[in-house]
Amino acid sequence: TLDQFFSHFICLVLTAIMWRAVWRVSDSLLFPGQRTQSAVTSLIIGYSMNVIVVILQIPAFYISRKLSKNPNKFFKIAFEDLYLFFVSMATIQSWRGCWDLTNIFIVERYPLYVKWLLHFAGFFTAVIIQTTHTLFGVAIFVDGSFPGGTGVVLPMQYLTVWFRDKIVNQTHLAPHEPPHEVTLSSGQSNQGFRPDEHNHDEKINQQQDNRLDDNKNILDHSGQNICDVTEL
């Protein structure tokens, strides 16, 4: 579709240009010529900025929600862009630190097969912990299109979704009853027949549908959760 072409050939290209530019500027400013020290510094800066991002998220949500009440969207978009620019700088510095340290201590020291092992190890670890959807990061949104203050909410709810599903499974999905013998009309016995198996399967399907609906509303719930915190 046109949305996909626009996202890949315009938005993602602009993202790559910005990332590469910040990366090269960091190479020139952060201990040039001292790769290890530069990478460690970048990593420290990136994760320190990420801590600040987490601390500022609730105040940023509150400010963005206030600005969204103004008919003029300029101030809301400008504030959200400023906050997300800070988030992007934190992300780029974190990536640069991890990337360069990997190059220095692994990629440049070991043969090609080790690099392939790292590639598959990273991917299959993401598969095991069920986070492969986040490896590509191709979602594109229009600035100012999020309601209230949710434009500054970072949808990071891995543990929330994981434990919520665990609670749902333990609370609402009753285990199968143990097999018991049922005498059929022919007089033969059918050990292991479960008369409630059909109803149980329907309950499982219903719970799975409910979880899918919940996952579709993660962004909305993220904003509401922060809203609840600010009102305490």
Q: Who has greater pLDDT, 182 or 216?
A: 216
Pairwise CA distance, residues 110 & 74, whole Å: 52
Note the pLDDT of residue 53.
95
Residue 121, token pair as written in the block: 């190890």
Report the 10 Å Cβ neighbour count for 34.
Answer: 11
Check: CB of residue 148 under 8 Å from CB of residue 223.
yes
Note the pLDDT of residue 202.
57
Note the pLDDT of residue 81.
95
Pairwise CA distance, residues 11 & 65, whole Å: 26
Note the pLDDT of residue 41.
97
Check: CB of residue 94 under 8 Å from CB of residue 47.
yes
pLDDT, tens digit, for every residue of 19-74? 999 999 999 999 999 999 999 999 999 999 999 999 999 999 999 999 999 999 99
Closest residue by Cα to residue 79 from 155, 146, 168, 33:
146
Closest residue by Cα to residue 96 from 42, 136, 50, 47:
42
Note the pLDDT of residue 225.
52
Pairwise CA distance, residues 148 & 207, whole Å: 30
pTM above 0.75, yes or no: no
Structural domain boundaries in the chain: 2-152, 158-230
Pairwise CA distance, residues 36 & 19, whole Å: 20
Closest residue by Cα to residue 3 from 11, 86, 209:
11
pLDDT, tens digit, for every residue of 158-214? 888 888 877 777 765 544 444 444 444 444 444 444 444 445 455 555 555 555 555
Specify which residues 183 forms β-bridges with.
189
Q: Who has greater pLDDT, 130 or 80?
A: 80
Average pLDDT, the chain: 79
Note the pLDDT of residue 207.
54
Pairwise CA distance, residues 64 & 206, whole Å: 37
pLDDT, tens digit, for every residue of 111-155? 999 889 999 999 999 999 988 887 776 578 889 888 888 999 888
Q: Which residues contact 20 (CB under 8 A, 6 or more apart)?
A: none
